[in-house]
Structure 1
Amino acid sequence: KGRVGEVYNFGGASEMPNLEVVRTILRLLGKPESLIRFVEDRKGHDRRYAIDFEKARQELGFEPQFDFAEGLEKTVAWYCEHREWWERIRSGEYRNWYDRNYGGRGEA
């Protein structure tokens, strides 16, 4: 159904400030809000994200299957259940793999 070269955004019909997303993740992990560290915003900082998926709805018949809260809960649960996946990234193993496979490609 999609058209070659077109861009389609997929999301849900909810908006939540970034800080509220962080607070929700901490709550799901059973962690205190005292872990939040406020830093100076970068230029053009986004305070929230709102995906307009109307084009995907109209052209592809897309409809969200989960609301934001349920999707975030499922995402956090997946990361908790697949610790070995992200531990490799955190340990630097991923960086080594990336450098072996992609190192130097962006250099002039």
Structure 2
Amino acid sequence: MILKGQLVKMENENLGAKATVFKLLKEGLTYENIREETGLPIKVLIIWHIQNEEYKKEKLEMLGKLLQFCSESTNPIFSVGERIMINQERAILLRDEVLTKNFRHSKTLTSKINFHLDRIKNK
């Protein structure tokens, strides 16, 4: 069980207090159990949970549009390895696993993804 001090320490180390709470929820603990252990208000826990679900849904949709755009393009936009990395991120989101860390691509790939997402949005 996570104690309040451990949760604060994890948050200070940027390991993600939110991710810890999501993991505990996934393991079957209730909001009330987590509130008792951490001292965090239930309202905060529920907001974190909703934000996580919204983020995952938005990210999945965005990556799906990006891959569709790439498939319809006459010129290759991403290398095979880059497409694999994008699909790995989608797989993590689709498995509905608790996001314990943000999935990170290289700065180059992140720049390419953001550039092409902007192109898709401006169409």
- TM-score scaled by structure 2? 0.24
Indicate the structure whose relative CO is greater, using CA pairs within 8 Å and at least 6 residues apart.
Answer: 1
- TM-score scaled by structure 1? 0.26
